[in-house]
Structures are given as structure tokens and as C-alpha cells.
Amino acid sequence: MRIDPEVVADLRAGSDGPVCAYVYDLAGLRDHAAAAVAALPDRAELFYAVKANSERPILDALTGIVAGFEVGSAGEIDRVRAAAPRTPIVFGGPGKTDAALAAAARAGVAAVHVESIHELRRAEHVAAGLGVTLPVALRVNLAGPLPVATLAMAGRPTQFGMDEADVPDALALARCCAHVEFVGFHFHCLSNHHDAPAHARLVLRYLARAGEWAAAAGLPPGIVNAGGGIGVDYAALDRPFDWRGFCAALPDVSDVRLRFECGRFLVAACGAYVVEVLDVKTNHGHAFAVVRGGTHHFRLPASWGHSHPFTVIPVQEWAYPFPRPGVAGGPVTVAGELCSPKDVLARDVVVGELRAGDLLWFHHAGAYGWSISHHDFLHHPHPAQVFLGARQRLRG
């Protein structure tokens, strides 16, 4: 989302103390998601992986645009069902409890992505106990090598999915189970992949492997869920993932439904984390800006060890009768308010001018921002949550 001076003025006027807020552009989110859906080929559909950001206004904004929601826990099922009682849900994650499987069955999910043969047996056991049929897709940990991305869940030993070698046995077992219905295959192998042509080739591999396994078992391949993983290059926000090119490179499928479940790609751009600079100082020859907020609100840069991109918003007013500290031109490290040297949002970034009292607008903070952060670390007050375009303005 673009920096909007009116929003900045509103944030400053609405803050009791120094500004610290997540701001989300819901209209921009809806436009982006609708364009992403419109670019898909026939028989392909886009779900939203809610772990990227499951705030209610975000779910409300995407309901009716995406084909469904991907969840990873019973808690996420509840959040989605509260917002969208009838929208399809698919349920994944490597450690599902019986209670979570039962919750999925009761919620009428469109698919449970089973990650091992043991989990397939437990899905059958739970569904039989409830007297229902549970639709299941097999999550496969594809053999490598896979293209390079920030995170790899497959193509190497991980806790995710079943080994390719287990797939024939899993299919045979699924056929014999009275209370699970095989509906397809699931692959979520990479996260934050930037290379659109390589990602399209990877999806072709998924389709080919799924087709081979299904044919060998005498089953229709049904749904091929190609996961999420569409990347955001935080170091080059002006070069977004080529989603249109990616969609254009996908094959026309006739015998399968191709499903995507994207998190970051859908919601990263619609959110910003806006914080006020409390202090600027130099020690051991390095300049530091300390802000109201930090990695307890916005853990992504610490989690990935990157400098998160931001823009300095100059604030002219200065409330004190003594000089205003600042840096000009040189590199500055942006640190949060926590008593931890790891509380860093951006390191050695060259800025024009940055002074105490200015605001920093961290871009593309809509995915894996607040949702993955340890909010109550050190018990600082929470940021406000301002949802532009929501029917009711919500503040924290």
C-alpha cells in the first residue's frame, strides 16, 4: 500500500503516545486478490492460507473473492467459520490431533491434507467414530532437487508430507478405508519463491507426478493442490512476482482441478507497520534509531534476518525545548524497544535524514507480521489495528 498523508495524519492524531500501528488497505487487498483470481486459467482456483494473517477484516475482505481458505489448526477453522460459514476450507499441517481432525470433519472441510500413513489411519479412525466420510488429499514430500526459495518444506528431509515411496501404500490404504475419500494430492514445497517460470515448471512436475500415482492406482487424480510459496522480494519491492506470466505458463488441465493456497502473495502488500522514532544515537561508531515497537510486533525481519524495507516520514513538529537527535546520509540500524540486541528491524540502512519524532513506514508488512510475532514479550502496549475501508473502524 502507498503511504497516504491523510492516513499518517490520522494515525498521529489518533495515538495517545508515539505512533505504533499496523495499517491495512482492504480495498487494495480486494483489488489485488481479484486480479490474481482473474489471471488463473480454467479449472484452477485460489485459496487463501490464513496463517499469513487471520485478522477478521482480512478474512472478510477475501471472502467471496478467493475460492476458499487453507487452515492449519482447529483454532483457524473457528476463525474462518466465524467469518465465512459456507466458504470451502482445506486443512493441513504436520501435527493434527484427533480433536482437530474431528473439528475438520464437523466443519465439513473440502479436504484434509494427510501427511503420513499413520495420519491417514487416524483420519479414518476419527471419521468412523463420527460416522462421516472425510475427504483427504495426500501431502507428498517431493523428491528433490527443487528450485531455491527462502524456505523449503520438501525436496529434502523435513517433517512435512509423506515420502514419495509411501504414496502407493497410502493410495491402497485410502481405497480400503470406508470413511475417507481420496480427493487428490497436495504439494506445498517452497515458500517465498521469486522465479515465476521455475515455479510454473514445478507445478508441471506436481501435475505429472500426481497423474502417474493416480494412474498406477487406477484412481482419477482429482485435485492437485500446488500449495502457496509465491514470493515477495523484500529487497526489491518494485519487482513483484510475475503472477500473470506464471498463470500464462500453466497448462490447460482437463482431468484435474488445480488449486493454489497462497498466503504471503495475497496479503503482504496490503499492510504496513508504522512506528515512531523515540531516540537516535551513535555508539561504537554506528547510528541507531530506536522505535516504539519492534520484533515482538513484527518478527518477520528478525525471523529471516533481513532488513525490512521502510520509508522515513518526516514530522516537522518537535515537542521539546532541547535539540532533536538525528542522522543524515549515513547508515542507521533500526531497533525496537525490547531489551534484546536481536530486536532489530533493519540494519545499516542508508537514509536521507532520520530524526527522533519521525515515523518509519515498513512496507509489505501484511503477511507474517503481527500474526507470527510474540506480542506480549516484555508487556509493552499493543499497536493499534486500523483497517481502512472496513465498515467499522477498529482500533486496538
Ligand X SMILES: *Cc1c(COP(=O)(O)O)cnc(C)c1O
Cβ at position 349, least distance to ligand X in Å: 25
Residue 33 CB, shortest distance to ligand X, in Å, is 13
Q: How far apart are CA 250 and CA 255, in angstroms?
A: 14
**Choices 45-53, 123-131, 278-286, 384-392 (CB under 6 A): range interacting with ligand X:** 45-53
Residue among 52, 171, 258, 313 that touches ligand X (CB under 6 A): 52
- Which has the closest alpha carbon to 290: 328, 258, 333, 247? 333
**Does the protein bind ligand X through residue 263 (CB under 6 A)?**
yes
- Residue entry with cell 465498515: 391
- H or E element that contains 74: helix 74-83
Q: Does 369 engage in binding with ligand X (CB under 6 A)?
A: no
Measure the CA–CA gap between 107 and 78, rounded to whole angstroms: 9
Window contacting ligand X (CB under 6 A); options: 16-24, 27-35, 44-52, 214-222: 44-52
Q: Which three cell numbers stand for residue 74?
A: 482447529
Residue 388 binds to ligand X (criterion: CB under 6 A): no
Rounded CA Rg of the chain:
23
Of 199-207, 225-233, 295-303, 327-335, the segment contacting ligand X by CB under 6 A is 225-233
**Among 179, 199, 264, 296, which residue sits at the site for ligand X (rule: CB under 6 A)?**
264
Task: Read off φ and ψ for residue 391, nearest 5 degrees.
Answer: -60, -40
For the CB of residue 115, give the shortest distance to ligand X in the complex, in Å: 9
Choose among 315, 313, 310, 314: nearest CA to 333: 310
Question: How far from chain centre, in Å, is Cα 158?
Answer: 20
Cβ nearer to ligand X, comparing 174 with 268: 268
- Nearest to residue 3, comparing CAs of 344, 298, 314? 314
Work out whether 65 is an interface residue with ligand X (CB under 6 A).
Answer: no
> Nearest CA to 231 among 250, 212, 246, 213?
246
Q: Coil, helix or strand for 81?
A: helix
Burial class (CB in 10 A: 0-12, 13-18, 19+), 332: buried
Footprint on residues 273-302 left by ligand X (CB under 6 A) = none
Q: How far apart (Å, rounded) are the C-alpha atoms in residues 85 and 154?
A: 32
Residue 225 or 295 having the CB closest to ligand X: 225
Selected binder of ligand X within 265, 310, 361, 370 (CB under 6 A) = 265
Regarding beta strands 151-152 and 190-191, do their DSSP bridges make them parallel or antiparallel, or are they unpaired? antiparallel
Q: Does residue 230 contact residue 268 with C-beta atoms inside 8 Å?
A: no
For ligand X, the closer of residues 264 and 292 by Cβ is: 264
The residue within the footprint of ligand X, chosen from 73, 116, 191, 371 (CB under 6 A), is 191
Q: Is 229 in the site for ligand X (CB under 6 A)?
A: yes
Nearest residue (beta carbon) to ligand X: 228
Site for ligand X in 68-127 (CB under 6 A): 70, 72, 92
Least separation in angstroms between CB 362 and ligand X: 18
For the chain, the maximum distance between any two Cα atoms, rounded to a whole number of angstroms, is: 80
Stretch that binds ligand X, among 126-134, 203-211, 224-232, 289-297 (CB under 6 A): 224-232
Applying CB under 6 A, among 26, 49, 256, 302 the residue interacting with ligand X is 49
Dihedral sign from CA coordinates of 310, 316, 317, 321:
positive
Q: CA-CA distance, 355 to 164, in Å (whole number)?
A: 56
Output the smallest distance, CB 260 to ligand X, in A: 8
**Which of the residues 247, 262, 270, 339 is marked catalytic?**
339
Length of the chain equals 396
339 is catalytic: yes
Determine the interface stretch with ligand X among 58-66, 228-236, 321-329, 332-340 (rule: CB under 6 A). 228-236
Give the contact letters, 149-188, x = binds to ligand X (CB under 6 A), - = no. ---------------------------------------x
Decide: is 271 part of the binding site for ligand X (CB under 6 A).
Answer: no
Residue 228 touches ligand X, criterion: CB under 6 A: yes
Q: Which of 68, 227, 309, 366 binds ligand X (CB under 6 A)?
A: 227
Q: Evaluate whether 103 touches 82 at the Cβ level (below 8 Å).
A: no
Letter for the amino acid at 30?
R
Cite the active site residues: 339
Q: Which residues bind ligand X (CB under 6 A)?
A: 49, 51-52, 70, 72, 92, 188, 191, 227-230, 261-265
